[in-house]
Amino acid sequence: MTVTDWRDRIAPHRMAADREFAERVRESDLDRQQWDLAMTAVEFEVAHPSDPEAATLVADTSNLDAVLPELARSTRRPGHPPEGDGGGLLDGIRSLVERDDAAGDRRETVERLATAYAAVLEDELREAGEWERVCRAAES
């Protein structure tokens, strides 16, 4: 089984984890559309797959930079410029700093949620009796 195969194999379990995790997303600073977009940049890896008891599912968020600009755009209301975007030099600098802060906050939120989601998904796989198969497949 290839890496793609084990990731495809866990798809039904991801749907179960999504249902269980939906409340956490609602309680976060992200809406469902933003969460779905963020998850397109998250890859899952199995750490220490040779020992299923000690192995853990890990969310690799290293590709988040690819979607953070779109996450920032999706927080704006259509037809309304971002706050502080009055056109002046100071407003422009303030807007850049605020966007950088907001991007950092969004990254932290997504990383925190993705880590929690990986734990929920791992629990789902363990409860369904799929964890050892996933570990063996991830190992090869």
- 116 is written with which tokens? 């929690």
73-103 per-position pLDDT tens digit? 876 444 434 444 455 666 555 544 445 445 5
- 65 is written with which tokens? 């930079």
Q: What is the pLDDT of residue 85?
A: 47
Range of the domain at 33: 3-139
Asked whether 38 and 67 are in contact (CB, 8 A), the reply is yes
Share the mean pLDDT of the chain: 83
74 CB neighbour count, 10 Å cutoff? 13
pTM of the model as a whole: 0.77
Give the residue-averaged pLDDT of 114-134: 96
Give the residue-averaged pLDDT of 36-59: 96
Asked whether 46 and 56 are in contact (CB, 8 A), the reply is yes
- 67 is written with which tokens? 């979607």
Q: What is the pLDDT of residue 101?
A: 46
Asked whether 108 and 64 are in contact (CB, 8 A), the reply is no
Q: What is the pLDDT of residue 6?
A: 85
90 vs 44 pLDDT, higher one: 44
* Counted domains in the chain: 1
